[in-house]
Amino acid sequence: MYTGKTVFAQLLDHLPLHQFRRCVKRYKDNYKVQSFTCLDHYLCLFFAQLTYRESLRDITTCLLGMQNKLYHMGIRGKISRSTLAYANERRDWRIYQDFAHILVHHAREHYSKDVFGVSLQETVYALDSTTIDLYLELFPWATFRRRKGAVKMHALLDLRGNIPSFVAITNGKVHDINILNMLIIEPGSFYIMDRGYTDFDRLNHIHQAQGFFVIRGKSNLSFQRQYSRPVDTKNGFRCNQTIKLTGPSPSIYYPEPLRRIKYVDPETGKSYVFLTNNFKLSADVIADLYKCRWQIELFFKWIKQHLRIKAFYGTSENAVKTQIWIAISVYVLIALAKKKLDLDISLYTFLQILSVSVFEQVNILQLVTNSIGTIQSNETCNQLNLFDL
């Protein structure tokens, strides 16, 4: 019988806590702190994300109910609702941002050789944003519209492993194209974007940095065709052209040739126009790359459904950003642990198993194996049909 660490403590073994302490030291947030440290704060909110706690009172009630196990979970400080509320307001959110980036770096190393549907050796990123609605009277700092508050989460998703390599939390009014100014372009990498990121000055910056982009073209694009390549109309392609922009501003901001591909989805009949600065890949690959952009939509949907980033434990900007960054840490750590343990299950299934077993003293591999066996036996049992009785 396994009598070692709890499941929660085993998860913490995948956290580089020495690097977390460096992040805390960078912002001096443990200065004169006697009992409830930044690590205690992080672990409490980590537990809340993992087990779907809805409020500070919910968090403290559950943790205090397992008082004898808190020390072995890494939580040393005294827990109370007021202490957690104070930490949410005062502990610098940049600590958890920096630590999330460290986890991302470790996760991307483990997923670097994964495949994602397109046979390319280059790194492929999908860029998009999602809006998190807030009640303006409770979050007056998050102005978005006249009677609505919001923050935006911008993410650059590495399609190998669906790990967010870059995340920015901004005011809801910040336009998506401004995020292109914050990206460090990797030469040879591909950046897949929707038409909302159409800004030819910024796209030219990607081109000059020797990166490649694939973006949907707008219907009012002014251009002059220079050359047409043959296309396979049976696969839905209508044109594969080399063009030059002719509008007054675009032609100045992006003077180089562009590639324009028109594709009609055979299943839906919907027409797509892709613009790219890559002239070597086939039109099929360009279309497949844009289809893979859907992974970032699934990423946003996943974290909104399975992590706590729609209802918040505090109303200040610091509390909101702290909670979002710790949620991202949980997502990345679950993905990292799944990869290290070589588990052949979905991220959702793994998270569900962990959420109800954090206090159990059982090996995670054994826990997952037993749980999957039970699920499969229940799905294949000979259950009578109600209408056959």
Which pLDDT tens digit goes with each residue over 312-325?
999 999 999 999 99
Which pLDDT tens digit goes with each residue over 202-214?
999 999 999 999 9
What tokens appear for 374 in the block?
Answer: 């039970």
d(CA 213, CA 216): 10
**Which residues, 6+ apart, have CB-to-CB distance to 137 below 8 Å?**
none
H or E segment to which residue 50 belongs: helix 38-51
What tokens appear for 21 in the block?
Answer: 């302490």
Which pLDDT belongs to residue 177?
94
Instruction: Set out the domains of the chain in order of their start, with CATH numbers.
Output: 7-94+315-379 (no CATH), 195-292 (3.30.1370)
**Beta carbons of 329 and 100 less than 8 angstroms apart:** yes
Which pLDDT tens digit goes with each residue over 353-380?
999 999 998 999 999 988 876 655 554 4
**Beta carbons of 156 and 164 less than 8 angstroms apart:** yes
What is the residue-level pLDDT of the chain in tens, covering all 389 positions? 455 789 999 999 999 999 999 999 999 888 777 788 999 999 999 999 999 999 999 999 999 988 888 888 888 888 999 999 999 999 999 999 999 999 999 999 999 888 887 888 899 999 999 999 999 999 999 999 888 999 999 999 999 989 999 999 999 999 999 999 999 999 999 999 999 999 999 999 999 999 999 999 998 899 999 999 998 888 889 999 999 999 888 889 999 999 999 999 888 889 999 999 999 999 999 999 999 999 999 999 999 999 999 889 999 999 999 999 999 999 999 999 999 999 989 999 999 999 999 999 899 999 998 887 665 555 444 544 433 44
Which DSSP category does 361 fall into? Answer: -
**Beta carbons of 127 and 193 less than 8 angstroms apart:** yes
Which pLDDT belongs to residue 381?
47
Which pLDDT belongs to residue 82?
93
111, amino acid identity: Y
Which pLDDT belongs to residue 86?
93
Which pLDDT belongs to residue 31?
77
What are the contacts of 200-203 at 24+ separation with CB within 8 A? 200/245, 200/249, 200/250, 200/253, 200/254, 201/253, 201/254, 202/177, 203/254, 203/277
What are the contacts of 197-206 at 24+ separation with CB within 8 A? 197/127, 199/253, 200/245, 200/249, 200/250, 200/253, 200/254, 201/253, 201/254, 202/177, 203/254, 203/277, 204/253, 204/254, 204/255, 204/256, 205/180, 206/180, 206/277
